[in-house]
Chains A and B, each alone.
Chain A
Amino acid sequence: MGRPHDLPRVVKIVDIKEENAQVRTFTLDLSVGAHPGQFVLLWIPRLDEKPFSVAFDDGQKLELSIAKVGPFTEALFEKKVGDQVGIRGPFGKPFYYELGDRLATIGGGYGAAPLYFLAHQAVQKGCTVEFIVGGRSKDHLLFIERAAALPSTQVHVSTDDGSQGFKGYNVQLLNQLFDEGLALDRLITVGPERMMKAVSDVALEKNLECIVSVERYMKCGFGICGQCVIDESGMPTCMEGPAMDHKLARRQKEFGQYHRDALGKKHSF
């Protein structure tokens, strides 16, 4: 009994890197032993505490790549190297894959961050990775150079406006790669839910394994507050997700359809 990481550990920010106009990577002076796909809760005292997927954890330092999207992240972007924040976690299930898998990761927008962490780990376990990233334009792409530097990894880029790489959606790019003869064992996707649903459709059609990342409004992180439960199963996604087999996700009638807010009210995607 007992889970030692469920009180925040307050640590220093040791590096802040500007990834693009919206996203900064904050490096924190601790490891939480996270695996790709898991998340942590980041605490700013007297303000709030929010979930963020782990962008990297090498056993010494923790990296979180965070977009400025609201009051909490605005306050975080005011922080400087040497300032302190609190961390709880890791929480949730990591991405599942098998040794030697031929993987494709399909990242939409900020989804590229945890997928880089995954690729970094997977290539050390004998996997090959087709690292497919999509964004609105080239200014929205993340982690392209970093991924390109990994062994056994091919980077493929799509932008909605054609400013870099393939013009169109990352799922279209994935289909094009299949048309060119790409053979894979497993797809792992992080991004907007309708995009992940489209990737899952491809996996079904091609009879491939597929892992999606189901993100809901998460508060406690350990399966008791009930904020992140999903219809139809009613299970908390902080415990049974975020990384989830796509077949399990597809059995949830709200997958790709709606999510709930802090009061439990439904909103369509």
Chain B
Amino acid sequence: MTLLAIRVANVDFPNPLVLASGILGVTGNTLKWVVQNGAGGVTTKSIWLKEHKGHPNPIVLGTEHFLLNAVGLPDAGLEKAKEEIATYLSWAETEEGRSFKAPLIANIVADTADHFAETAEAIAELNPAMIEVNISCPNVEDEFGKPFACDRNQAAHVTKEVKRRTGGKIPIFVKLSPNVSNIVEIAKAIEDAGADGLTAFNTFGPGMCIDIETAQPILANKVGGLSGPAVKPLVVKMIYDLYKAVKIPMIGTGGVMTGRDALELMMAGATLVGVGSGVYYRGAEIFDLIANEMREWCEAHGVKDLQEVVGRSHRV
């Protein structure tokens, strides 16, 4: 097990595979269940200050190449988040929980920089290992307009406010949108604003699927974020670019199905690897499966410390 252990932003993960935000993650117990399936860390669904309704069904479509989703960030707000995070953290203190040592990342979302900061401050009180700031969901554009992650100044402003209100007590990761032409500029602005790390990336697009019998878009929201196997090469390339440009660590997320995929993202520059859509393709046991595949590869290739794989493509 220790072969895959890795440290990021002073937080120790038993393996680099974290449940990406938005997949499962509704309750503390389901985060526990994902850890029991081998995840090295877990990210909550996006937490709002107050209740927020999601979209009607269908919210997610799957094919062998991609998932398309517009769940719409449903959440019951801070009070529920407190209860669910406490459920997970108290399990993490049990004998079973301690055997896994899987950190919890609280993902937050809001409509203004102030609300982001207020939510982050309240969530920090609950002692998650990290906060991930979702400034990049493409599925609520009708409600809120272009995500903050599409504008360098807005992305930096949110980051700065969140850092200020959390007082440097807890690592802040900012989740990027891949749907920009200047990803490096935006990432640098977020780094300069004090972020401790980046999550790269939220979903692509948005895209659309049309049913040809009815000529109707299938998702209730018509459009949705693209993820799954199809996006992996795009993610690898952008992580590769970002690794050259910023010093803060990254959680690489997008299209990881296998141990080879996870190692590929790490060689591009990711320290942790988010797994989300992969749960659709291989079930929740994907975490154990990927970890085993990574371990086998590392043993066969004489890797002693997983950290040496991070950014390897830049050193050959």
Nearest CB on A from B17, distance (A):
16
Report if B238 contacts A (CB, 8 A): no
B269-296 vs A, Cβ < 8 Å mask (1 yes, 0 no): 0000000110111111000000000000
Q: Is the CB of A231 within 8 A of B27?
A: yes
In B44-94, the 8 Å CB interface with A consists of: 45, 51-54, 56-65, 67, 71, 74-76, 80, 84
Complex interface: chain B residues within 8 A of A48 (CB): 56-57, 220
Report if B184 contacts A (CB, 8 A): no
A263 touching B218 in the complex, CB below 8 Å, given contacts A1-B257, A225-B60, A229-B33: no
B198-220 vs A, Cβ < 8 Å mask (1 yes, 0 no): 00000000000101011010101
Complex interface: chain B residues within 8 A of A161 (CB): none
Nearest CB on B from A49, distance (A):
4
14 CB contacts below 8 A, A to B, read A1-B257, A2-B64, A7-B63, A8-B211, A46-B220, A47-B56, A84-B214, A219-B57, A223-B284, A224-B277, A226-B26, A233-B29, A234-B28, A265-B80
Report if B31 contacts A (CB, 8 A): yes
Complex interface: chain A residues within 8 A of B283 (CB): 223, 239
Q: Is the CB of B257 within 8 A of A226?
A: no
Report if A17 contacts B (CB, 8 A): no
Q: Is the CB of B279 within 8 A of A224?
A: yes
Complex interface: chain A residues within 8 A of B84 (CB): 264
Report if A61 contacts B (CB, 8 A): no
Report if B230 contacts A (CB, 8 A): no
Q: Is the CB of B211 within 8 A of A260?
A: no
Nearest CB on A from B210, distance (A):
10
Given pairs A219-B60, A226-B27, A229-B33, 6 additional interface contacts (CB within 8 A): A1-B257, A45-B211, A88-B58, A223-B283, A225-B59, A227-B26
In B21-40, the 8 Å CB interface with A consists of: 23-34
A33-46 vs B, Cβ < 8 Å mask (1 yes, 0 no): 00000000101011
Complex interface: chain A residues within 8 A of B284 (CB): 223
Complex interface: chain A residues within 8 A of B58 (CB): 8, 41, 43, 49, 88
Q: Is the CB of B30 within 8 A of A224?
A: no
Q: Is the CB of A223 within 8 A of B280?
A: yes
Q: Is the CB of B76 within 8 A of A265?
A: yes
Nearest CB on B from A65, distance (A):
20
The complex places the Cα of A6 from the Cα of B65 at a distance, in Å, of 12
Q: Is the CB of A7 within 8 A of B216?
A: no
Nearest CB on B from A236, distance (A):
7
Complex interface: chain B residues within 8 A of A98 (CB): none
Q: Which of A6, A10, A235, A265 contacts B30 (CB 8 A)?
A: A235
Q: Is the CB of A264 within 8 A of B216?
A: no
Q: Is the CB of A263 within 8 A of B27?
A: no
Complex interface: chain B residues within 8 A of A220 (CB): 59-60
Complex interface: chain A residues within 8 A of B280 (CB): 3, 222-224
A226 touching B33 in the complex, CB below 8 Å, given contacts A1-B257, A265-B76: no
Complex interface: chain B residues within 8 A of A1 (CB): 64, 229, 257, 281-282
Q: Is the CB of A234 within 8 A of B30?
A: yes
Report if A21 contacts B (CB, 8 A): no
A229 touching B29 in the complex, CB below 8 Å, given contacts A2-B63, A7-B63, A10-B211: yes
Chain A residues engaging chain B, CB cutoff 8 angstroms: 1-4, 6-8, 10, 41, 43, 45-50, 84, 86, 88, 219-220, 222-227, 229-236, 239, 260, 262-265
Q: Is the CB of B26 within 8 A of A10?
A: no
Complex interface: chain B residues within 8 A of A10 (CB): 211, 213-214
The complex places the Cα of A137 from the Cα of B154 at a distance, in Å, of 62
Q: In the A-B complex, list the 7 residue pairs whose CB atoms are closest, starting with the nearest.
A: A2-B64, A234-B29, A234-B33, A234-B30, A10-B213, A49-B57, A226-B24
A3 touching B62 in the complex, CB below 8 Å, given contacts A48-B220, A223-B280: yes
Complex interface: chain B residues within 8 A of A50 (CB): 57
Nearest CB on A from B137, distance (A):
15
Q: Which of B23, B74, B213, B279 contacts A264 (CB 8 A)?
A: B74
A229 touching B75 in the complex, CB below 8 Å, given contacts A2-B64, A223-B283, A234-B29: no
Q: Which of A3, A86, A236 contacts B24 (CB 8 A)?
A: A236
The complex places the Cα of A48 from the Cα of B281 at a distance, in Å, of 24
Q: Which of A6, A41, A236, A262 contacts B53 (CB 8 A)?
A: A262
The complex places the Cα of A70 from the Cα of B34 at a distance, in Å, of 34
